[in-house]
Amino acid sequence: MDGFVVKFTRREIYEEIWRGSVYAMAKKYNLAYAPFVKQLKEAQIPMPSMGYKVKIISGKPVGRPSLSGQHNAIISAIKADAYALSAPDPIKPDSLEPPDSSDPSVPSDPQDQPPAQKFVLCKREELFTALWNVPLEEVISYSGLSARSILKLCWALDIPRPPQDYIKTGAMSLPKLSERDSASQKNNIQHIASNEPEVCRSMLHFLNDEECSLVISIASQIAFVDSQANLHRKIKAYQLSVQEWKASADHGSSDGQDPSPPHLAQSISEKSLPRIFRIINSLYRAMSPLDCRLTNDLNFEVMGETITISFFEAKGQTVHVITEEEAQLLEQYKRMHEIDPKIPKPKIPKYDYHYNGKLTLVVDHLKKFKDRSSSLLEERLGDIMIDLFIAAHERQKAYAAYESEERERRETRRVELELNKRCVDMLRESIALDSLDSQSM
């Protein structure tokens, strides 16, 4: 094994990885990457993050943590060739027995070892800069996310991805990262804004670290889509159904039937409908890479559960201005009142109530988000997105509890029926024995 081992001091490794990266050092010395990273963690050697690399690329000043402990301690790193030699022969798989995983002399395949996961918050600008300046494998090592998760982040956050072998060939110029809507520039998650991402992590405890990293990274940077952006086809279909229902309500249904109104047809003004459709479209664009779907009723399918979202618009109170028709009614009332004091006074409202554009969004009939002077719904899209996942988890918990209770009820009923059957069988046996005794006598 001596030919497959490279020895370094802790200081040499520290200087090498901070001049380049862990991935670059592993590639330079042909080291097995996953076991090498594990060795660095066990040796407590600090490793550079993706943010450090991005700042270096951007020319920004950046510091690095100091190396503690014994600088001259020796670390033996295993080359990737050792794992290739220890792999089974693909031509004669039946002639060889699988290696004993408990034997320390036989290294395991690094591909079989899942990467060490941790909760990370990937920033859009940093991820864009890293993807277009360093290899994908290095971005994976920095972020701790899989290639599939990085692809989902790019899809959700509208990050252009470089073509294959772009780093080697430089076949195209660096694109410009698109600007986000002004409403999305503010912090979308209250706890992220207060530098408490771990609070969000505890709220999403039912997700693993990588799933949680995806959800919070997307939710904290979700964009409010432009008014000119294309709406989802189901949103367009719902918008058309609202228009058709209002036209039918104004002119009367042609077939004499009163169609049931869509939810947004009666509770939302015409002026606020486009804004609501943009909110739903923004949520869908961010959540669709996470295997979320939009239903025909503009609800969301999250983690296999259908979560309803409802919108309501508040009304403002204004002093009623008497119309000409109402003034004529009052004049007529005064003349008729002199003749007959019992004539009722016409009912004229004191106040008028009009939609004022202030919206309330309700998630699964429980959690409410309201327009306030300090923040609008567009600035709380991240909170809304996280609450959709929490509501889906609560649905799953409730369904699991119901299933457990149902199984207990069925089991109790089965035991009762079995006991009743035994009692009936014992009674029949007793009757049969009595009958035999009476015949023998």
* Each residue's pLDDT tens digit, 336-354: 888 888 888 888 888 888 8
> Is 294 in a helix, a strand, or coil?
strand
| Helix residue spans in 99-208 (DSSP H) | 124-131, 136-143, 147-157, 166-169, 190-193, 197-203
Q: How far, in Å, CA of 303 to CA of 314, rounded?
A: 32
Say what the pLDDT of residue 186 is. Answer: 56
Say what the pLDDT of residue 279 is. Answer: 94
Q: In angstroms, what CA-CA distances link 156 with 41, 59, 189, 290, 435?
A: 32, 28, 16, 9, 82
Say what the pLDDT of residue 293 is. Answer: 95
> Is 358 in a helix, a strand, or coil?
strand
Other residues' Cβ atoms within 10 Å of the Cβ of residue 12 = 15
| pTM of structure | 0.71
Say what the pLDDT of residue 132 is. Answer: 84
| Helix residue spans in 318-361 (DSSP H) | 324-339
Residue 274 CA, chain-centre distance (Å), reads: 24
Say what the pLDDT of residue 250 is. Answer: 67
> Is 315 in a helix, a strand, or coil?
strand
Q: Which of 138, 136, 114, 108 is nearest to 208 (CA)?
A: 114
Q: How far, in Å, CA of 441 to CA of 439, rounded?
A: 5
| Residue position matching structure tokens 């899209």 | 381
Q: Strand 300-302 and strand 5-9: pairing?
A: unpaired
What letter does residue 163 receive in the DSSP assignment? P
Return the amino acid letter for 253: S
What letter does residue 277 receive in the DSSP assignment? H
> What does the block give as tokens for 391?
């509501």
- Cα-flanking dihedrals φ and ψ of residue 76, to 5°? -100, 110
Which residue numbers in the chain have pLDDT < 70? 1-3, 58, 82-119, 165-173, 181-197, 250-259, 440-441
Other residues' Cβ atoms within 10 Å of the Cβ of residue 277 = 21
> Counting every residue, how long is the chain?
441
Other residues' Cβ atoms within 10 Å of the Cβ of residue 49 = 14
Say what the pLDDT of residue 261 is. Answer: 81
Half-sphere exposure of 339 (CA within 13 A, CB side): 4
